[in-house]
Structure 1
Amino acid sequence: MRDTDPLESGRKKSPRALTLEERLLWLEMLESDEQAVKRDLPDLSRFMMATGVRIGEALAVYWEDVDFEAGTVAVNYTVIRAKGVGLIRKSTKTEAGERTLPLPNWALDMLKRRHATTSFPNGPIFPNALGGLRDPSNTRRDLRKARGGEEFAWVTSHVFRKTAATILDEAGLTPRLVADQLGHARPSMTQDVYFARKAIDKRAAEALEDVLKRPDQDEPDEDAD
């Protein structure tokens, strides 16, 4: 019994991330949706793709956590609903979850624009209508309503996290660096759960070019006719 493998319940789906074209179409769709704009979904989507944070972490970021001069954001909390209390900020799951993330310039510019026009400069960067904490569950529901028909039916808030992880992976960052970005203690989890795979990369063929090359086989003489 000890040496037997568990039965597979079905074929496990590989992580799926938004392609560049899909990212642009997603934002274009949200920007043209009056209700999505009212619920602040375009900038929230941008922020999650720029950082790879969980939706509860994104909603827990206060303006005091953003360092405009350094171009970073501190992610130390997540939003939860506590019984008998309501929405609160609590520390992230683990020590690895507490992290300071560098922001791409376009995301930093977006936050500067928001900060210049916000009515709640001491509150969350993505507040509710009264300037307080926003409910992650309700925000997930807003995203489901906004995603439209079949084209984006598969998109959830976690897809933005997988998208950021996949972009960093494709850029050549080590699994350890990507895990630090996502707040994972183990890079293996990042690789197994968050990297979209099946990419066609010519570098694989180039690396295998000499797999059957004989040791005494010389390179062709470029000067020979």
Structure 2
Amino acid sequence: MRCSPTPTFDRGRVYRRCGCRDDHRHQLGTTCPRLATDPHHGTWVFAVDTPPVDGHRHTVRRAGFPDELQARIALRRFNEGLALCVITDPRQRTAEYLRDWLDEKELRLKPTTMARYRAYVEQDLIPALGTIPLIDLTRQHLSAYVTTQLRKGRGKVTVHRIMATLSSALSSAAHDGRLARNPAKPPILPRPASAPRRLWTEEQTARFLRFTHVTDPLYADLAELMIGTGIRKGEALALHWDDIHLPERVFFVRATLSVIDNNRLLLTTPKTRTSKAWVALSDRVVDTLEDRAAPPAFGQTTPAGGYVFHRHGRPLHPKNVLDHFHLLCDKAGVPRIALHDLRHLMTSFALAAGVPLPVISKTLRHRTLSTSANIYADLTRLAARAAVDAVAWTLDNADRSVLGRAVCRTRRPWRQHPRPHRQLPAHQQARTEEPSTPWPMWPGDHHATTS
């Protein structure tokens, strides 16, 4: 909206009107005779002309005020906000607010995030809730919307993401004082549980790599890089030769390849601030990249500083990469997994090899250690079992160094009474070795004496 160079705070008018109709079902508006005789008939309205946009004048009318004073206060606030190019309309529709919120977020969010937000707002939220005034939006409206969407067969994950977008917008409204509270909090639809993660075994991973190295070296090298370093799919597809330093065995993650509306490729910043960092390379991955950097046959050359993974110098489309990857999985005889699961394979193999989780978290470039622990909770359970087994192994070795054997848990004297009150039959009695020293006298023993 273009602001007036000399805004006037007395712009607009206030009047009273009603919803009465004549015999032809036409609204009387301000001509109703009852307005002149009954001071409580109808409601107060303010109308104001906003600055012209693209040569078209737009008049904002808001009704429903109980008296003239409330209407004039609302008009005054509207004009004050209009001078700053801010719409402080107390009866602003949810559709208008969501579009304004998107325009504000466009300056801060990544294009891929904005494309997803705009699709949810324009295709889902505005058709269902756009006509409701923002200040009248209640939790009942949102609950009814969620129920309707689920009955139509929409997936829970999709509905949860739509409501998360709306909750973010309403949180901004509550922070700015437009709403007393966010009606979307707590979430109406809890976040659906993630599907069980299915990973390859070491044998399946080796089989896939052997097969692809023969049939499709490009995808074999891509898989080697993702498994060997744990980088994300978009980061691998955006990798340039200028970012790789093979003598130092490192490369720098500078960007990620994103797709907008499934047709436009765009290089954007990595997922988090900590994702933009150096990543170490193993000897196996270095050999893979050296083979990829070697000049191919038939006189073709790799563009200097170009994409590492490309077709005729152009980056690979993520959707085509996923489809071809699944085709290679079928041909290699291994289960289909997502490309992002190759990043999880790196974590699985590192944990199995005994690498500490903090080291793995830094390698994956997670922002916090808790992020790694939450994502790989099922894998860390195996590491936790290995940790407690290591403690038991250490204590057993200490017993062997002193006693020459591991102590059996059932033979410890402090776990059982030396003389049970009820004598068991001989075939049910546990076979225990006689101690080298007499058993101590236990309080309460019927053979014990006191001095």
Asked which structure has the greater CA Rg, the reply is 2
Deviation readout 1:83-109 (Å, 9 max, x if unpaired): 699312111011111121110011112
Q: State the shift of 1:220 in Å.
A: 0.5
1:69 equivalent to 2:247? Answer yes
Q: Summarize the alignment of residues 114-193 of structure 1 with structure 2, pairs less than 5 Å apart.
A: 114-117=292-295, 118-127=301-310, 129-148=311-330, 151-193=333-375
Alpha-carbon distance, 1:132 to partner:
1.9
What pairs with 1:1-225 in structure 2 (closer than 5 Å)? 13=196, 15-33=197-215, 36-37=216-217, 40-82=218-260, 86-117=264-295, 118-127=301-310, 129-148=311-330, 151-194=333-376, 197=379, 199=382, 204-208=388-392, 219-220=402-403
How far apart are the structure 1 equivalents of 2:224 and 2:193?
Answer: 34
Higher RCO (C-alpha under 8 Å, 6+ residues apart):
1
Instruction: Judge conservation of contact 1:75–1:101 (CA < 8 Å) in 2.
Output: yes
Question: 1:203, 1:176 → 2: CA distance?
Answer: 15
Alpha-carbon distance between aligned partners in 2 of 1:150 and 1:47, rounded to the nearest angstrom: 19
- Contact 1:66–1:73 (CA under 8 A) maintained in structure 2: yes
**How far off its partner does 1:199 sit?**
4.3
Any conservation in 2 of the 1:53–1:182 contact (CA below 8 Å)?
A: yes
Q: Distance in 2 between matches of 1:67 and 1:53?
A: 16
What is the alpha-carbon distance in structure 2 between the residues aligned to residue 91 and residue 112 of structure 1? 26
Cα 1:176–1:124 shift into 2, 3 Å: same
> Aligned partners of 1:94, 1:11: CA distance in 2, in Å?
21
User: Partners in 1 of 2:356 and 2:378 — Cα distance?
Assistant: 15
1:165–1:195 Cα contact (<8 Å) kept: no
Structure 1 contact 68–108 (Cα < 8 Å) conserved: yes
CA distance 1:146–1:7, shift in 2 (3 Å): same
Q: CA deviation at 1:75?
A: 1.1
Residue 8 of structure 1: CA displacement?
9.9
CA contact (8 A) 2:211 2:332 kept: no
Q: Which amino acid aligns with 2:211?
A: M
TM superposition shift of 1:148: 0.5
Unaligned ranges ≥5, structure 1? 1-5
Segments of structure 2 that go 5 or more residues without pairing to the other structure are 1-188, 296-300, 406-451
- Deviation of 1:10 (Å): 7.2
Structure 1 residues 142, 149: CA separation in 2 closer, same or farther (over 3 Å shift)?
Answer: closer
**Could you list the per-position Cα deviations for residues 29-69 of structure 1 after superposition, in whole angstroms to 9, with x for gaps in the alignment?**
32343xx44xx211111111111111111001100000112
The count of corresponding residues between Structure 1 and Structure 2 is: 208
CA distance in structure 1 between the aligned counterparts of 2:230 and 2:198, rounded to whole angstroms: 14
TM-superposition CA deviations, 1:192-216 (whole Å, max 9, x none)? 32465364976633413588x9xxx
- Distance between the aligned counterparts of 1:176 and 1:32, measured in 2? 36
**Partner of residue 3, structure 1:** none
Cα 1:131–1:7 change in 2 (3 A) is closer
Residue 23 of structure 1: how far off its partner (Å): 1.4
TM-score by length of 1: 0.77
1:157 is paired with a residue whose SS is: coil
Cα distance in 2, alignment partners of residues 115 and 44 from structure 1: 13
Q: TM-score, normalised by structure 2?
A: 0.41
- Partner AA of 2:365 in structure 1: G
User: How far did 1:79 drift?
Assistant: 0.2
Q: Tell me the CA shift for residue 120 of structure 1.
A: 1.8
Give me the whole-angstrom Cα distance separating, in 1, the residues matched to 2:257 and 2:227: 19
RMSD over aligned Cα atoms:
3.4
| CA deviation after TM superposition for structure 1 residue 171, in Å | 3.2
Shift of 1:81: 2.1
- Offset at residue 151 of structure 1 (A): 4.8
Residues 252 and 279 of structure 2 are in contact (CA less than 8 Å); yes or no, is this contact kept in structure 1? yes
1:95-137: CA deviations, max 9, x gaps?
111121110011112111211225222211111x221222112
Instruction: Check conservation: 2:237, 2:257, Cα contact below 8 A.
Output: yes
Measured in 2, the distance between the counterparts of 1:92 and 1:74 equals 11
Contact 1:50 1:103 survives alignment (8 Å): yes
